[in-house]
Amino acid sequence: MAAKAENRKHGFTIAHEVEKRIRLRSRRLFDPSLDLRYLEALAESLPGVQRARTNKWGSSIVIEYDGNPANRARILNLLENIPKDAYMPGGTGQGAISLPTVGTQGAVAGLTPFMPAEAAAPTSWLLGMPTMLEGLHTLLYDGVKVEVLDASAVAFSLLRRDYFTANAIVAMLGLGSYMENWTEKKSDELLKSLLRPQVEKVSVERDAREVRVDFTDLAVGDLVICGSGELVPVDGVVVDGDAALNQSSITGESLPVHVSEGDSVLSGAVVEDGRIKIAAQNVGRETSMARIGRFLENSLRTRSTSQKKSDELADKLVPVTFALGLGLFALTRDVTRAASVLTVDYSCAIKLASPVAVKTAMHAAGHCGVLLKGAQALDNLARIDTIVFDKTGTLTRGNLKVTDVLPLGGGSDAELLALAAGAEEHYSHPVARAVVAEAEARALPLPPMSQVDFIVAHGVSAYVEGEQVLVGSRHFLEDDEGVDCSGVEALGRELRSGGKSLLYVARSGKLAGVIALRDELRPEAGQALSMLKERGIRKIVMLTGDHKDTAQSIAADLGCVDEIHWELKPEDKADLLRELQDAGHFLAFAGDGVNDAPALVSADVGICMPGGADLAREAAQVVLLEDDLRLLAMARDLAANTQHVLTRSFQAAVGINSAILLAASTGKLSPVVSAFLHNASTLGILGYAGMAGRGAKATKTRSNAANRSQEK
């Protein structure tokens, strides 16, 4: 009774269940608007699920999982509450033909010549009935489509009692459909193979103890513990602790921010220093780490503008073929010739080549370090003529480097740098790392420090030989500690005009000097811009909120920058992009912060860097998974190559099928031969389309080789 109640509750009947495998039935799987492949992807994204497959005509779904009762409950809950995005207007939930069915059809076709007429007739009608019923249904509800052509060819052959031809056509249609579905399914699986969590284990507090648990076991309300160097895996609120959090991808600032109890944090940020306890508010599929999975799930069914145009043209050619077949029959009364014509259509190769090529290219891009969110991103990448870069975190690393050491009061720069590095030595902070690295590079001995006190997001207080040393911002020294810094105002303005950040050092209550640091330019940035120029990008624009002098200096170092805009506010970026678009440019925008989201949405292609904020990743069409701008050139090559493959596939589909159609119209091909040639050409075109990503590895290999050469 309990099992029956459970079945009624979920709308799915548990048809069969063994350990780690469950098969359920439901009439809901017949809903023409339910995307069965998307439902499979949703099921396979659940914790513990290894595989999911649907059978529309068997009205069942089989799910293999780890046998965990909690995961079983998640599976049933998903099927009870299938999300709205699994349904698509117009219907995409076509059931795939099974291999046993294909084998049965082939066996019947092969045995037909040896059957007595009394057995061949009913067997052939029975075998051809599904094809004819599908064609009739398509004609009534969708008009003249490829299913109508197939049904007509089978019906013509059956009416003239040519049972072998009818069965052979059915068998070849089945084999072709199976191979087409297999090819597309493999391309889907390639994309699904990229669905990997960025974090596998996390630390949580349970029963007053810190334990390591699987990322998939996190729940809302869990207390997640993050220490120095760790990635924040959830969105939530700090309930305990104190830390410097690197949120450069969110704020656009090079320096970390201080977070403490009551502050909100976003997944993807990195703890630079300290230790915090976070009450999780968003976990699992709601975090940025799971959003990449959703991007890929959606990409399994999205189609670009060029794909839709190809599909529309293919659909328009179907009535032409149908009219030609009927016209030949009316003129010649030759059923065989009409059936030969009706076995040929342009639709299959044209419609199926696009998704196979696009998904293969997306998989190749993913393995090379670029996440493409759907076919439109690939389509647009091939068309762009302008790229707009936000400077911070995109053309620069977001890492600081010491540029100037300026002592005051007669001291040497070595003494000032050693004093600052000694205080900062054990402080895990970008500024501290830059200062210590510079001291190590100069082989300076560091003075022994005592009573070191880290004031998170402000600076360091320490003692050397009984004298207090303060290292930090002007606000920390002047406002908090009472050190007079007015004597370096002019010097500070000069350094800042060069795009530098300032670190103030005081000893015994007096300012000892200033250390200037600058955000480091990406070493590959100049080469990346040159590579993009070589690939047809006519205009490269740089945007920054920095001072004019800083912007011009960086642009000069980069080279290949055609236009610079400085001292911009976040809202100015989107306005500038619209001006460029109004001037006729088809453009991409590359950024990584929350304040870049409006520009990412406004651009024809939004590109987000690997450390980008959640909102930036959500808004972008392209996400770099590796910290290398040259990947943009690889993505451009891949997009251009895919467009070439699609164009050649379209030309081949039209050319080959036109030749077959001409030969069939003149009576030179039988229906069996015509169907064989049509299906063989379709599979050949699909095989060619599957090579769309073949140039990606070579491009990346060349990029890596160039990188090694540059390093030497």
**Residues carrying an active site annotation:** 390
Tokens of 143: 């008009």
Q: What's the chain's Rg over C-alpha atoms?
A: 32
Rounded CA gap, 73 and 279, in Å?
25
DSSP string for residues in 332-395:
H--HHHHHHHHT--SHHHHHHHHHHHHHHHHHHHHHTTEEE-SHHHHHHHHH--EEEEEIIIII
Q: Is 92 helix (H, G, I), strand (E, B) or coil?
A: coil
Rounded CA gap, 539 and 388, in Å?
8
Count CB-CB contacts under 10 A for residue 26: 18
Tokens of 363: 């998989």
Q: Is 112 helix (H, G, I), strand (E, B) or coil?
A: helix
Overall residue count recorded for the chain in this entry: 712
Q: Which residues of 513-547 are buried (b: 16+ CB within 10 A; e: fewer)?
A: bbbbbbbebbebbbbbbbbbbebebebbbbbbbbb
Closest CA to 184 of 381, 32, 363, 31: 363
Per-residue CA distances from 510 to 258, 300, 391, 423, 474 (Å): 26, 64, 36, 16, 13
- Specify the amino acid at residue 74: R
The torsion of the CA quartet 687, 688, 690, 694, rounded to 10 degrees, works out to 130
Sign of torsion over alpha carbons 140, 683, 105, 168: positive
Asked if residue 78 lies in contact with residue 46, where contact means CB atoms within 8 angstroms, the answer is yes
Per-residue CA distances from 640 to 12, 365, 576, 634 (Å): 46, 13, 27, 10
Tokens of 364: 């190749």
Tokens of 385: 């003529």
